[in-house]
Chains A and B, each alone.
Chain A
């Protein structure tokens, strides 16, 4: 008897849900423009890598970056996805300026973030998880068996951004603060005076390290202003990078401060041969 009642109740609930769904009118899928930017950056780098030298090197840093954000399909108002790619080169000199180190790095970060529209008009806050990879090397050609310090890192990060859309006079402007901070991950580092020749011979002991704030701290901070000139947006920004680790009695301190300038904007693709539905709402990841 109890079983019959249970089946009846379940059927009633399912019929109710089906009825409710059937009564919802077909909604128009929102358009989710891709917000993409290409940027270049120039600034200063400060680098201490005790595998290469006991001294801190200072010099020029250059970066080419690509950034992409888009509202996500499943809940575009509240969730956005973020992609960052970068190619960075720095040439730094020792304090006596008679030796140079060259650093070349590629970086990639992908993540999603939940977006909240705050009570202040035009202000949003996004926070979420991400994963990132950095790979590259520092090179000091004057060193004998320690000329290179490979930099390989993968991590799970926290990302966040605060965006404020406003106007200066008649010019729409978007002010933004953005940060990314690895929480845990892993990275490569040889032992204190271990040569890469020994690693080449096959000794892989203690070269892959679990990364946590106990041995590694990385952070990227950016502030930027997007100036909207019609459909094209110019982005002016400041980027600060901190990449520090202490492992196997090795010490690495890398600070970068860049002025960046970029071009981009929101781009909409409706698919080949299709036109976007004029009635569809547009949900930008940023604006």
Chain B
């Protein structure tokens, strides 16, 4: 009985040690000023495009700090913080709360330049297949057409073999990445490898190494290898269709493909977004996403502000085109491919 009492004492002591010794200093705060400062500091210490975008973040902070009041509601604070974040004019920088997501709507000022239904109905006559997030078919002009709308959709190597085998007899290929807002960069590599025959220099990547605005690592050059032997490749002329909503990973895909001699970019300037975003959070649970790594193209250029179409390939879709069910960008791409084949 005495032993049992001692054992109980040991158990209780150990339990108390285990459960009480880990200090649970809760950092939760709904205080507007504390959250504003946390947001400003995260961006100040991690954002990578202050210099490229010509932004004085201290000045921005001073301007918006005056608008933060201790008594303001969460929604009022969110609006102030969202406006401050939008000063970066960066589509990769978003503030998320449980009631709203704030982001810079960079494409608002430009024509949309895309309607998938028009392509499917008026150019493919609904005669298309779908695999691995890709819609593909053969146009009456005997050019292959692939619409890839989201780089988040994993591209299977086997799926690509099927798609490219189906299009192997075509004279040229159109890859439509309009309205593709990006996704996984590994999918860019998977796709690009099917269009090259030797190791390709793609550009360089760098990242922040510390909280200072200019604390950047030495850029690292990266390369893509051609697809493995036996995999289906496509080496005929290629036109890539872009609009302002071709963003982030799509922008990266376009920047790499543009340097290939058999490739033309047709449509509108891409949306940019060559920064790789990281995520952090505020004490009240809001999430902040921001660019913290920079990817430059093979010419060493920053493509953060978009990539222009190839020379003579800038095309917009007018309201009259939309009403007529036409896609001038797709039509121009076919002309460009024909021209490339005759040269």
Contact = CB atoms under 8 A, between A and B. Distances in A.
Interface of A: 42-46, 53-56, 58, 94-99, 142-146, 168-171, 191-195, 197-198, 200-203, 205, 223, 225, 227, 236-240, 248-249, 255-259
Given A95-B27, A236-B10, A236-B11, A248 B209 contact: yes
23 contacts: A45-B22, A58-B22, A95-B28, A95-B283, A95-B285, A97-B285, A98-B285, A99-B285, A145-B278, A168-B3, A192-B211, A193-B207, A194-B209, A195-B207, A195-B278, A202-B220, A203-B205, A223-B14, A223-B17, A238-B14, A249-B210, A257-B19, A259-B17
A194 B284 contact: no
Contacts of B287: 99, 142
Contacts of B2: 168-169
Contacts of B284: 96
B19 A43 contact: yes
Contacts of B131: none
Contact of B283 (A96, A144, A194, A197): A96
Contacts of A257: 17-19, 21-22
A183 B171 CA distance: 66
Contact of B185 (A98, A171, A194, A197): A197
B134 interface: no
A225 B38 CA distance: 46
A223 B15 CA distance: 12
Contact of A193 (B15, B17, B26, B278): B278
Contacts of B17: 223, 238, 240, 257, 259
B48 interface: yes
B105 interface: no
Contacts of B208: 192-193
B152 to A, nearest CB: 11
Contacts of A259: 14-15, 17-19
B280 interface: yes
Interface residues of B, number: 52
A192 B207 contact: yes
B46 interface: yes
Contacts of A168: 2-3, 6-7
B246 to A, nearest CB: 19
Contacts of A58: 22, 24, 26
A228 B30 CA distance: 52
A185 to B, nearest CB: 23
B25 interface: yes
Contacts of B205: 197-198, 201, 203
A53 B22 CA distance: 20
Contact of A202 (B18, B26, B222, B293): B222
B7 A227 contact: yes
Contacts of A94: 281, 285
A259 B293 CA distance: 42
Interface string B121-152: 00000000000000000000000000000000
Contact of B23 (A46, A53, A144, A205): A46
B215 interface: yes
A195 B293 contact: yes
A144 B220 CA distance: 21
Contacts of A238: 13-14, 17-18
Contacts of B3: 168-171
Nearest to A203: B220
A195 B275 CA distance: 11
Given A95-B283, A257-B21, A54 B207 contact: no
A239 B276 CA distance: 40
